[in-house]
Amino acid sequence: MRRIGHSLIISGVLCSVLAAPAMAQKVLQLPIRTDGPKSLDPVEGSTTYDNMACVQIYETLLTNKYTDPLKYEPLLLTEMPTSPDNGKTWHFHLKPGVLFYDPYTYPNEFAKEPIFDGSRTRAITADDVFYSLKRLADEEYELENWWLVKDTILGFNEFKDEQNAAAEFDYSAPVEGFRKISDLEFEIELTQPVYRFNYVLGMFQTSIVAHEAVDTFGDDFFRHPVGTGPFVFESWTPKKDMALVANPKYHDVYYPARDEWSSEDRRRRLHRPAGKQVPFVDRLEFMMFPQDQPMWLEFQAGNIGYTQVPDEFFPQAFDKRTKELLPDQSARGVSGHSDRLLDFIFRGFNMEDPVVGGYGEKAKALRQAISLAMDLNEFNETFYSGLNVVYDGPIPPGLDGHPEDGRAAGAYQGPNLALARQKMNEAGYPNGEGLAPIKYLANRGGNSPEQTELMERQLARIGVRLDVQLVDFSTLIESVNKKNAPIFSFAWSSDYPDGENNLALFYGPNEAPGANHYNYKRAEYDALYERILTMSPGEERTAIYEQMRDMLLEDVPYIGSMARERHYTINEWLLNCRPTERYYSWFKFLDVDDSKRR
């Protein structure tokens, strides 16, 4: 019952005292490409769109650098965490004076007494860090993101089991690995050194929240966010729009220094506001676009600051051969940018499904046949202007474990119709006989309907039929989390630059609603995954990555893979914009010049 009310229109308009009456507000309009977030509670978040909204309001201990998103820097900390014992124990020091904002400071429909013991605000402490991490262990939130810390922190597994078995979850109960030194200093001891641990502390699901806000709003906390971020929540109409305003008490966060920018970035004058306090805009407005055409038209009209260029509109903005921005776009003041994503585009199988799931030879042969019938190169040329990288395995280009030239021996990469038909015979469905249409769920937005039609045509060549269900992205994720999608389609962008993050998608204990959307469970794979968690980068670890990759290629819990090269267009009035999808808290660095709006 916790999720009742997601479809309600939510409001809480902030008063205009945040802006000086004599000054025009700077308003930044940005797109969210789909129907947007499903929750504004980080512990419930799992999608790019949850991430995009949440990190404007909440903050994590660490974050990516705007000038080099593959690197990390402190956000709520005074310095990067230190370890005296090679990664088993980590020492942290919080920035002093970082304040939660109080939603009742501003008149809105929920205005009551201040939530912080009669005060309008308070500073974050070590207790807030521990509380926020403990929420990951609470079954009240369906353990959607427990996989991030499972088996990692000393005594945390035991805490989770004890509290969920109790009549009431006690957040004050101790965790052996959590040690408070003072309000601003603390340590976290791990069960063993885990290479990815600091990466996890930069993921939005580990954002720091205030227990007073959760206690006050209860089941409605997902739509009443209270954080320390650069923006304060104002309103949210699910699947339509969201408005935020600048946090008047935001802590000291400054635009990157001049010497952090590359010569190319300085040529684009991205260094101009170096050293200035952020955010620069007074108001941030998100517009949700389940369909790509309205988003592209809004950009062309100058109504949103930047956009990912939908693939079907790529020829309107860029030369397909040179990938250079077209002269007519430049003449309008539009600039372009490109970025290779750490991307894993796939069609997944639910390995618990009675038809396409399972590990027997016949079940495996059916999945292999379907994969062999698919022609990803045709998808790439038809829908991505040939810009994507088609590759074998789940690990994207640029990371350890990605196969040389993108190809791995033993991959059931299509098109190979002769072998696909042989595999259909082995599965017991010659020419598709006896095989009922298989339910396939995909997002209804963008060019997904056209992609689905191509998929149907390709699979028809071996007698496989689909029962297509195109739904909103939020419905798609909900169905996958509930294991109700035999075949499904979306993409995974790596949370951090390590192939372990992609291999975690197939670790058995991470099954849905965790990140293992495929519900893939293989003991040998799980044992290898547990081994790599404690290993630093090197040849031995890479060899295990490759071994795990090859297991997945044989079992085919998904069809793939492709990595996108994303192209963006930026309107002249949007300043300081260097688009990246590695993280999303960079919106606080953006500025607007209203004199350049058309």
User: How do residues 105-122 score in pLDDT, each as one tens digit?
Assistant: 654 445 566 788 777 889
| 155: confidence class by pLDDT, cuts 50, 70, 90 | very high
**Given a cut of 50, is residue 58 above it in pLDDT?**
yes
pLDDT in tens, 460-472: 999 999 999 999 8
The reported pLDDT for the residue numbered 175 is: 98
| 474: confidence class by pLDDT, cuts 50, 70, 90 | confident
Q: Which residues contact 553 (CB under 8 A, 6 or more apart)?
A: 392, 393, 408, 410, 411, 412
Rounded to an integer, what distance in angstroms lies between the CA atom of residue 313 and that of residue 253?
A: 37
Rounded to an integer, what distance in angstroms lies between the CA atom of residue 225 and that of residue 119?
A: 17
**Given a cut of 50, is residue 7 above it in pLDDT?**
no
The reported pLDDT for the residue numbered 123 is: 96
Dihedral of alpha carbons 367, 368, 371, 372, sign: negative
Mean pLDDT of 585-595: 97
The reported pLDDT for the residue numbered 20 is: 44
**Given a cut of 90, is residue 137 above it in pLDDT?**
yes
The reported pLDDT for the residue numbered 438 is: 98
**Given a cut of 60, is residue 252 above it in pLDDT?**
yes
- Rg value, the chain, Cα: 24
Read off the pTM: 0.83
The answer to whether the CB of 246 falls within 8 A of the CB of 18 is: yes
| 13: confidence class by pLDDT, cuts 50, 70, 90 | very low
Pairing mode, strands 591-592 and 574-575: antiparallel
Q: How many Cα atoms are found within 13 Å in the side-chain-facing hemisphere of 266?
A: 9
The answer to whether the CB of 150 falls within 8 A of the CB of 159 is: no
**Given a cut of 60, is residue 19 above it in pLDDT?**
no
Rounded to an integer, what distance in angstroms lies between the CA atom of residue 435 and that of residue 58?
A: 48
Tell me which DSSP letter residue 190 carries: B
List every span in the chain annotated with CATH 3.40.190.10. 39-232
What CATH number does the domain located at 343-563 have?
3.10.105.10
List every span in the chain annotated with CATH 3.10.105.10. 343-563
pLDDT in tens, 75-102: 999 999 999 999 999 999 999 999 998 8
| 22: confidence class by pLDDT, cuts 50, 70, 90 | low
Pairing mode, strands 335-340 and 565-570: antiparallel
Architecture of domain 39-232: 3-Layer(aba) Sandwich (3.40)
What is the widest separation between alpha-carbon atoms in the chain? 76
